[in-house]
Structures are given as structure tokens and as C-alpha cells.
Amino acid sequence: MKKTIIPFAILTAALTMSSCSDFLTKTPETSLSPDTYFSTGAELDLWANKLYNDLIPAATDLAELNADDNCSGSTLTAVQRGTRNPTSKSWSADTWKPLRNINYMLENNKCKDASVKDRYDGVCYFFRALFYYEKVRLYGDIPWYDHVIGSSDKEDLNKARDPRGYVMLMVLRDLDKAYELLPAKWPSDPVYHVSKDAALALKSRVALFEGTFRKYHEGSEYVPQDQQTFTLDDGTSFTVSSTWFLEQAADAAGKIVGTRSLYTDNTMKLAPKATNASYREYFILENAESNETIFSRRYNVDLLVRHGIQFDYKNHKRSASARFVNHYLQKDGSPIQKRAGWETMSYYDAFQNRDPRMAQTLHGPGFVMADTDNSGAHITEALSWERTFNGYRIIKYISTTEHETATTSTTDYPVIRYAEVLLNYAEAKAELGTLTAEDLAKTVNVIRARVGVPGLDAVPADTDELMEQYYPHAKGSQKAAILEVRRERTVELFCEGFRQWDMFRWGEGNLLTPKATKGFQGIYISAAEVGTDIDLDKNGTPDLYLYNDNKGTTSVPSSNQIQLGSTYTLSEGDHGYLTCWAAEEYTWTEGRDYLWPIPADQRTATGYALSQNPGWDDGLEQ
């Protein structure tokens, strides 16, 4: 009996003991699992790639954001119309998914090579900051999660919103970590992965946003209290305020200012009079250059990775506003209102003696495409109302003719570039009231120098009346400088995804819509020109024919024969700015529209843990 018990005892012991360990764990062999994944650089890289894909905006998202400076000819945004509603902006699981993925990698990253592990942690911190920055822009207060939410974790799922100040503090801390952990340059490429400079640049962008938002909304329902103190889990305590954020912005940007240079090549020779057109050229490079570019999104036609900006611009007749055009200085650095009759200038005149960026941004007289014909001459293209609805056709990002289909726009898109950092720095300093002539020399003047416009020798003391009219809420000890920096920012960063958000943070939402101008205004047309063939660019060929009720005879192409009255009007009736979208209703509700509403279904789903943003009535009582 003893003999027989022994083997059984051994067997039982073997089974029992083994059951204590991983004996019953079976790992999938044909799919990866978090237990085994996240151990090598290659694995981390694949996961990180998805973050880029999900969180880096597509080129068209940035280049095509309607605002006061540019607009689509086919649709207005709900923001412009004032027709947002409590479900109009997505708070879907898909929009929260990237955060889950980021936190998932941070929780599971177990790469033994510390330098590799750090690098990808840095990527995660960068993207978590970007994620929350964009969420705060939309919603203000937002629940902050630095870990993966469990499906049964009611506390997390029904978490109340954290104050925006707290979230932005955490965002800046994430960016500090990202700056610390990310490489200065990735071994594989200089611009297509986020780097230390990208973290700094984003930090300056985020901090400037929050600093100015707090400054210009202080005391309103959006920022009832500017100065707030938060004690973190580790016991450290931070007091944030608009000043603190602006200092953070200046500090982050200041680390980059002076370390890079702007793109100045002129290989394409796109300017009509052999002047330097490196500004325009920079935005149609097939492969981003790496001095000005801090981070870029890559496109490639062979891989079917393309953005279609050129196609969309054409399809939507994307055009700039007269308001925007008036931001352009004259070539000598003086404002346009110094020119006599500046308000009734013709299309042709408007382009004369202006900041060269104007003709590199808008279709001006003598515009050429980037491609050349057999003789080596650039392809010319007449201004066509198939590509603009008000005469100020946008040609930033417009490259060769063959890029103009839905599937062929493949120029790289700079998501973060040095010029923005320079402007962030100058703006933060100006808002703080600490801007110096040296600061201007390092920033605004560098930008102007590229296009040959004289810089500012001293911090401006006198406010520009037009800028003051355009930005009535600007304030501060260096108000004149603030306005000049805003002008510079407006023209330099046109159609790069900033304008709407800039107007929001500056508290100028009311001017975001074309409400005041009763429609979106373009080129100026005199009364005499109506009913005649107009040679806009003065090249001898008529370009435009405007008529009221009866179309007379005209030699312009049918696409450029425009009937006035419904879609198109002139701002003064028989003359004035060629105006579109005049019949639209525009509303701007100051105490409501700077933030998006929290979707009502999510407020009920969380048991009203989520409070509603000011001014929004979603029909729920709580």
C-alpha cells in the first residue's frame, strides 16, 4: 500500500505545485499579447506608429480650417454659423481610443534597453500632451487619465471633469518628460518623428494657448479664476496662471530660438520677377527640409499616402478674406492703410509692393504653377472662379498641375516648424510685457528677413489702428507689439490650422464669423467694372465678367462669368468687395461658443458626473 501511495503522492504534488506557477498559462502563439509585447524597440515602434497615425492631423485638416481669414466656397463650419449643438462634436470612444493606446504602452513598456524604453515613453508623453491639448481646446475642463481605464472601474468611467488648469499643468509636465526622454534626432530621420524640439515647440504652443486663453477670458464663465493651485499626488504643488503659462511658453520656445534657421532655397524659381520665393517653395517640398521643419508628416504617391490639399482647394474654391489680405504690410514694412485709396484697391493693385508672402500665398498677377512646360517655362494659370469664389485664391501648398487630383497631392506637410516657435516666443514675451528689441531681432525680424520685409528695430510703441480694429480685445503693457506679432502670425501661419484657435484664445470669437462684414469679402470691384470684361491681372486677357440681371457679351471663360445677386454680391450694392455667404445667418454667443458642449448622452451615461459647459442647454436638468 505504501508503494502505491508514493507515486500518487508524487503525481499529486507535481500537479499541485505546478498549478501554483504559470503551469496553466497558455500564451497565444499566433497573435501578440501585451504580456510578451512591448519588449523590443521594433515592437514599441509599431505601437507608436499608430499614435502618429491617429493623433497627427492630416494635412487637409489643418490647411482647410475655416476661419475669418480663409473659407471654403462650398461649406461653412458650424462654428462660423453658430450652429453647434450638444452632439455636434464627437466625444466618441474612437476619439478617446488614442489615449487608451498611449496609456496602454506606458503601462506595458518593459523594454530592457533603457534608452529605447525612454524614447518610446517620450513618444507617449508627447502624444498624451497633444491629445489633451486638443481636448482642452474643445471642452475646457476634461477628466485627466494617466492610466488605462478598466471596464468595471466605475470611479474612472464616471470621473468628473478636471479643471483645465490642472489638465494643462499635466500636459506641460508630460511635455517636460517628453523633452527629457525623446532624442534630439531619431536615427532614422530628422523630421518625421517627434523629437526634443517637437516637445519644446508643442509646449510653447500649448502654454501660449492656455496663457492667452486665461488672460483674455479671465473673469468670464470660462476662466472664473486665473490663478489656481494644484497639489499633485507626489506632494508637489503648482500655482498656475496666465502669467505662469506664458512664462512656460517663452521658456520652452526660448530653448529653440536661435538654434535653427528658416528655409531660404529658391530652387523652383516660382516668383514672377525672379525674387526669392522660398516661403511658397517650403510648403510644396516633396520631402521636408530639416532646418525649419521640426516635425513633418510625410506623403508619398507610390504608397497611396496622399493628402489631396490641392484637389480640395480647387473643389472648395478655398479663398482668403479681404480682412486677411489687409494684414499684409507693404514691401517697405509700412501698413497698407498708409497707401492712399487702400480700401478700394483693385485686385492688381492690392498685390503691388506688398509683403512678398502675399503673392506666395494667394494667386496674384503672374502666378505660375511649380511645373514647367517643354521650354522650361513655368505653367501659367489664369485666375479661375473654378478655384476661388472671391478672387483671393489660396495657392499656399499648390504645387504642380499633376498634384491637382484627389490622389496626387503628396507634398510633405510641416506640422511643427521653426517660424511658429519664433512667433510663440515673441507673442508670449509681448503678452507678458517683457518683449525686447533683441527678442524681435531673433524672431519677427528673422521671419520678415526671409521675404525681404524690413524688421522692427524697436518694440513698437504705437498701436496700428487697423490691427486694433481687427483685435479689439488685445491688451497689455506692450499692446502695440502684441498686435504686430499677431499680424505676423496671421500672415506667416496662414492655413496651418491655427487661426480659429488663435481667435478663440484671443477672445475674438465674435470676429471669427463674417457676421460684421455681412458675408465673406474678397477683391474690390468698382461700379464701372460691373458688366464689363475685367482684366484683373492686367495681362491683356480679360479674366472676369460680373453682371446683374442680364448677361451682356463677354469674352471671358464661362466659369468666370458671375451673376451678382444671390451667391455673389458686392458689399456696397453696385460696387465694393466681392462677397459670398452674405445670405447666411451668423450667430456668436459670447458666453457659450468658446467651448464645445459635452454630449448629453455621455453626461447621462456617467450619471451626470460630467458637468455641461457654460451656456449650453442640452435639455438635461443637471
Partner 1 sequence: MRKTLLLTLALLLSFGAFAQNITLSLHNVTVQEAVTQLQSQGNYTIVINSGEVDLKKRVSVSAKNATLNDVLTQIFAGQNLDFTINGNSVSVSKRIPSSASPQTAKNSFKGVVIDQNGDPLIGASLIEKASGKYAITDNNGSFSFEALTYPATILVSYLGFEDKEVTVNGRESQPFRITLSSDTNLLEEIVVVGYGTQKRVNLTGAVSVIDGKELNARPVTNTAMAIQGADPSLVLTTSSGSIDGSQYSVNVRGKVSLNSGSPLVLVDGVEGSLSQVNPNDIESVSVLKDASACAIYGAKASAGVILITTKSGMDGDAKINYNGRFSISTNTTSTDFITTGYDYVNLTNAFYQTAKGSPAWTYSDEQIQMLMDRRYDVTENPERPWVIPDETGTYTYVYLGNFDWYSYLFNKERPETEHNITLRGGTSKAKYYASARYLHRNGLFAGNAQDTYDGVSLRGKVDAKLRPWLTYSSNISLERSDYEWGGFWEMDGSTGYTSQGIMWNITQNVGPNYVPYNPDGTIAMVPGFMTGATSPLMSGRGGVFMDGRNHNMNLSNYWTWTNRFTINISDGLKFIADYTYRRHDIRRNFRSLPSANSYDNVNKRMYEGNGLTGGLFSNGSVYDFTREYRYMRDASTINAYFAYDKTSGHNHVSATLGGNFDDYYATTLMIQQKGSMSDVLSYINMANGEIEKATQTNTSYRTLGYFGRVNYDWDGKYLLEVSGRADGSSRFPAGHRWAFFPSASAGWRISEESFWSALKPVISSAKLRASYGTLGNQQVDNYYYWEELKTGLLSGYTFDGLNNAAYAYMDAPVSDNLTWETVISKNIGIDLGFFRNRLNLNADFFTRDTKNMLTAGMSLPTVYGEAAPKENAADLRTKGFELSISWKDNVTLGGKPLYYGLTATLGDFVTVITRFNNPDKLLSDNYVGKCLGDIWGYRTDGLFATDEEAAQWEAAYDSFSTVNKGIQSQAAGYQHLRAGDIIYRDLNGDNKINTGANTLDNPGDREVIGNSRPRFNYAFKGDFSWQGLDLSIFFQGVGKMDWMPNYNCSYFWGPYAYQRPTFIPSDFADKCWTEGADNSGAIYPRQRGLVSNKTNLITSDYYLQSAAYLRLKNLTVGYTLPLKTRIIEKARVYFSGENLFYLSPLTKATKYIDPEVATTSISDDITYPYSKTFSLGVDITF
**Binding site residues, partner 1, CB under 8 A:** 1, 4-5, 7-8, 11-12, 15, 19, 23-35, 37, 43, 46-47, 49-50, 52-53, 58, 91-93, 95-101, 104, 143, 145, 149-153, 156-159, 188-189, 192-193, 287, 297-300, 303-305, 602, 605-606
Residue with smaller CB distance to partner 1, 101 or 212: 101
Q: How far is the CB of 49 from partner 1 (least distance, A)?
A: 4
When the beta carbons of 14 and 516 are compared against partner 1, the nearer one is 14
Nearest C-alpha neighbor of 294 from the set 205, 188, 194, 181: 194
- Give least dist CB 454 to partner 1, A: 39
**Shortest Å distance, C-beta 119 to partner 1:** 14
List phi, psi (to 5°) of 479. -55, -45
| Pairing between β-strand 520-525 and β-strand 544-547 as defined by DSSP bridges | unpaired
Residue 421 in grid coordinates:
516657435
Say how far apart CA 601 and CA 256 lie, in whole Å: 44
Name the one residue in this structure whose C-alpha cell is 507634398.
Answer: 411
As a whole number of angstroms, the distance between CA 269 and CA 393 comes to 20
Identity of the residue, 184 or 274, whose beta carbon is nearer to partner 1 in the bound complex:
184
Q: Closest separation between CB of residue 279 and partner 1, Å? A: 24
**Closest distance between partner 1 and the C-beta of residue 309, in Å?**
14
CB of 310 to partner 1, least distance (A): 17
The CA-based dihedral angle spanning residues 599, 604, 608, 609, taken in that order and rounded to the nearest 10 degrees: -80
C-alpha distances out from residue 281 to 268, 369, 459, 507, 573, Å: 7, 11, 30, 33, 39
Distance between CA atoms of residues 230 and 212, nearest Å: 20
Q: Shortest gap between Cβ of 88 and partner 1 (angstroms)?
A: 15
The whole-angstrom separation of Cα 313 and Cα 369 is 14
Q: How far apart are CB 301 and partner 1 at their closest, in Å?
A: 10
Write down the least CB distance from residue 22 to partner 1, Å.
8
Nearer to partner 1, 101 or 445 (CB): 101
Do the beta carbons of residue 515 and residue 586 sit within 8 Å? yes
588-591 long-range contacts, CB within 8 A, separation 24+:
588/82, 588/509, 588/510, 588/512, 588/513, 588/515, 589/82, 589/615, 590/509, 590/510, 591/220, 591/221, 591/615
Choose between 96 and 238: whose C-beta lies nearer to partner 1: 96
Question: Considering beta carbons, is residue 257 or 598 the nearer one to partner 1?
Answer: 598
CB of residue 494 to partner 1, shortest distance in Å: 25
Pairing of strands 520-525, 576-580: antiparallel
Q: Is 615:591 a contact under the CB 8 Å cutoff? A: yes
Q: Which is nearer to partner 1, 433 or 497 (CB)?
A: 497
Q: Between 155 and 234, whose beta carbon lies closer to partner 1?
A: 155
Q: Are 336 and 342 in contact (CB under 8 A)?
A: yes
Q: Which residues in 219-237 are b (16+ Cβ under 10 Å) and which e?
A: eeebbeebebebeeeeeee
Provide the edge-to-edge strand list for the sheet that holds 520-525: 520-525, 576-580, 569-570
State how far the alpha carbon of 205 is from the alpha carbons of 334, 338, 380, 537, in Å: 28, 33, 38, 39
- Under DSSP, is residue 48 helix (H, G, I), strand (E, B) or coil? helix
Coil, strand, or helix at residue 449?
helix
Indicate the residue among 85 and 103 with the shorter CB distance to partner 1: 103
Least Cβ distance, residue 95 to partner 1 (angstroms): 8
**Whose Cβ is closer to partner 1: residue 22's or residue 549's?**
22
Supply the minimum distance, in Å, between the C-beta of residue 45 and partner 1.
8
- Rounded distance between C-alpha atoms, residue 303 and residue 434, angstroms: 48
Between 286 and 465, CB nearer to partner 1: 286
User: Using CA atoms, how far apart are residues 423 and 108, in angstroms rounded to an integer?
Assistant: 38
φ, ψ of residue 71 in degrees (nearest 5): -160, 150
CA nearest to 174, candidates 206, 212, 217: 206
Residue with Cβ nearer partner 1 (261 or 405): 405
Rounded to a whole number of angstroms, the minimum distance from the CB of residue 320 to partner 1 is: 28
54/349 with CB nearer partner 1: 54
Kindly tell me which of 164 and 378 has the beta carbon lying closer to partner 1: 164
- The nearest distance, CB 5 to partner 1, in angstroms, is 8
**Distance, CA of 345 to CA of 351 (rounded, Å):** 9
Which of 346, 317, 269, 272 lies closest to 538, judged by CA? Answer: 346
Q: Whole-number minimum distance, CB 507 to partner 1, in Å?
A: 29
Q: Is the CB of 286 or the CB of 617 nearer to partner 1?
A: 286
Rounded to whole angstroms, the Cα distance separating 613 from 591 reads 10
Contact yes or no for 68/486 (Cβ under 8 A): no
Three-state SS for 157?
helix
